[in-house]
Structure 1
Amino acid sequence: MKRWELTGSAHQDASVRSRKGATFMDMDFMVMNFMGFAPEPSNLLDTPDGTMEYEGDGPGMYCLRHGEEMEGASLILQDDIMQKIGELMGGNYYILPSSIHEVLVIPENAGLTTRELSDMVHEINQTEVMEVDRLSDKVQFYDREAAVIENAEKRDARLAAQKQEVTTGKKSIHSRLGEKKQKTSERKSDGKSVNKEQVTL
C-alpha cells in the first residue's frame, strides 16, 4: 500500500481480513480501562447505523485495531470499515499512523490542523514507538462523501491551490470589467469633446 507503505505481510493480510475482529474504541475509555478505572470500552463498530453521540467535551480520539492481532493498521484498506467510521463521526476524519498495529482517528470537526496532527505523530514516533513498529509520520484524511483516503498535507496544498485559482480568476474578471468600463468612459469623453468642437465652429 503506497499511502504508508505497510509491510508486505500486512498488505496481504488485508485482502483476507474483514470487519470481523476489528475494534474501534474511544481512547479516553481505553486509557481508563488500562488504569483499572473503567470496564473495557465498547466496540463502536457495533453501534447501530447512525452518527454516535459524543460524550464529555465532544469529539476526541479513537483507536482502530484488529483485536489482539498484529499489524492492525492494514484495516484502513477495508472500505466498509472506513465508511462505517465516517458514519459514526458524522463526516470526514483524519487517520494518524500510531504504529503498524493500530491507527488513531480524529474527526475533522475536532478543530486540529494537519500541521498540529503531523507534529504530534512525529513526536510520538520519535519518543514512544519502537522503530520496528513505526508506520509513518504522514497523516491521512478520509473524505466521507468521496469515500477516499488522501495524504492530509497534499490535500491542504491542493485545496489552497484551488482557492488561489478561484481568487485569481475573480480578480481577472474584475480587471477585465474595469478595463471595459474605462474604455467606455474614454469613448464617451472623446465623443463629448468632438461634439463641443463642432458646436463651437
Structure 2
Amino acid sequence: MMVFEDFTKELVNRMETRLGKGYRIQVKDTLKNNSIVEHQLMLQKKGSSVAPAVYLQEQYELYMKQPDEERLNWIIENILASYEQQEKEMGEVSKLSHKLLHYEYVKDNILFKLINTEDNKELLMQVPHIPYLDLSIVFYVSISETEQGIMTALVRNQHMEVWNVTAYDLYEVARKNTPERMPARFCSMEEMIFGLEEDLGKNPTDEWEMDMLQIEREDSFPYLYILSNTLGINGAAAILYSETLKKCSEALKKDLFILPSSTHEVLLLPYEEKIEAEELACMIRNINREDVPREDWLSDHAYFYRREDNKVTAA
C-alpha cells in the first residue's frame, strides 16, 4: 500500500512509460473555490495548447479501496480510456483556445458566478471580481458544452489585462449572457422530487404562479423552494438575475429568506415572523457540513429579499 505522494509518483512514471515522449505529464496544484487545493494529473499531447486534468485524490481513494497491482493497472487503463474519449473534443477546444486572447471572440461567452469572499481571499487576488454583500461575483468563459457537462475557464487578472477591460466591463456582459445561457429555474422542493419544474425564462409569471400556489402543504411547516438555473451549475448566481427574485416573491406573495445551500442553488423560504435568522443559519451550517462538498459551500448564513424595495440584505 502506498501513501498519496508515492501513489502519485508511481502513476506518473507508469503513464510516461505507456504514453511515451509524445506526451507531457505533470502534477499541478490548482487553487479551487473556498481555498481548496486540488492535485491534478495533467496529460498534454505535444503541439496541443490544452490538457485534460485528472483529480488525483479521487484516483487515490479508488486505489485505497483495493491497494494492489491489479487496482493500480485498472486506474491507469481508466485514465487512458477517458483521455482517448476526450481527445477529439479536446482537439476542437485546442483550435479555439488561441481565440481566448481576443475579447471580441470571448465576450459573448463570459458568465458570472458567486463565491464566498472570506473563504477565497487568495483566489480573489488573482481574479477580477465585484463585491456583493459578503460574497463576490467572479467570471468565467464557457468554452464548450457536452453531455458530460460544461468546460470552462476562470477569468484571471492576466486575461483582463490582455483584453484591456475592467471588472465592471466583464460584469456588464456577464449580466446579459448568464440569464440567456443559463436561464433561472424555480421550483418547490416537492416539484424537484417529482421533476415538475418551471423555467422562468419561458413561462409567464401568471402561469407558473398558479402552479406554485396549488401545492398543498401543512401551514405549520414553512415550504421551501429551489432557485437555480437550467443546468444546475453555479445556479446560486440566479439571485443576481434582473427581476428573478421579484417574480419569485410575487408568485409567493411574500418577502423571502434566501438560504445559500451551495454555489449551485439557493433555497427560498417565504417570510414568516416566527422564523429566526439564527435558526436558519444553524440549518445552513448543518446542510453545509453534512450534505455539501466543501468546494461548493457558499455561505453559512441566510439573506433576506424585501420585495418592497427589491433588495437583498444579510438576514
Give the TM-score taking structure 1 as reference length: 0.63
Q: Percent identity?
A: 29
Aligned to 2:297: 134
Match for residue 79 of structure 1? Answer: 242
Verify: 1:27 aligned to 2:189, yes or no.
yes
SS at match of 1:18: helix
Offset, 1:18:
2.2
Instruction: Give the Å deviation of 1:47.
Output: 5.5
Distance 1:106 1:44 in 2: 19
Q: List gaps (5 residues or longer) in structure 2.
A: 1-130, 141-169
How many angstroms apart in 2 are the aligned matches of 1:7 and 1:80? 18
Q: CA deviation at 1:127?
A: 1.3
Superposed CA deviations along residues 40-89 of structure 1, whole A, max 9, x for unmatched, are 21317436436752522245000011112411111111131011011011
Task: Tell me which protein shows more strand as a share of its residues.
Answer: 2
Q: Which whole-Å deviations, capped at 9, do the CAs of 1:92-115 have from their partners, x for residues lacking one?
A: 010000100100000003842211
Quick one: distance in 2 between partners of 1:126 and 1:14?
31
The one of 43, 48, 60 aligned to 2:198: 43
Contact 1:14–1:75 (CA<8 Å) still a contact in 2? Answer: no
Distance in 2 between residues matched to 1:8 and 1:145, nearest whole Å: 28
What is the letter of the counterpart of residue 41 of structure 1? L
C-alpha distance after superposition, 1:132-179 (max 9, x if no partner): 100010210000001100000xxxxxxxxxxxxxxxxxxxxxxxxxxx
How many pairs align? 145
Displaced runs of 4 or more, over 4 A: 10-15
Unaligned runs of 5+ residues in structure 1 are 34-39, 153-201
For the aligned residue pairs, the C-alpha RMSD in angstroms reads 2.5
- 1:1-201 correspondence to structure 2 within 5 Å: 1-6=131-136, 8-9=138-139, 13-18=174-179, 21-31=183-193, 33=194, 40-43=195-198, 45=200, 46=203, 48-49=205-206, 52-53=212-213, 54-58=215-219, 59-109=222-272, 111-152=274-315
DSSP 3-state at the match of 2:183: coil
Paired AA for residue 23 in structure 1: R
User: What is the DSSP-based 3-state SS (H/G/I as helix, E as strand, rest coil) of the residue aligned with 1:8?
Assistant: strand
TM-score (normalizing by structure 2): 0.42
Aligned counterpart, 1:166: none
Cα distance in 2 between the residues matched to 1:132 and 1:16: 25
Match of 2:3 in 1: none
Aligned CA distance change for structure 1 residues 110 and 88 (closer, same or farther; 3 Å): farther
SS of equivalent residue, structure 2 residue 177: coil
1:60–1:110 contact (8 Å) kept in structure 2: no
Q: How far is the alpha carbon of 1:121 from its aligned partner?
A: 0.1
CA contact (8 A) 1:25 1:43 kept: yes
Instruction: Say which one has the larger Rg.
Output: 1
Alignment-mate amino acid for residue 242 of structure 2: D
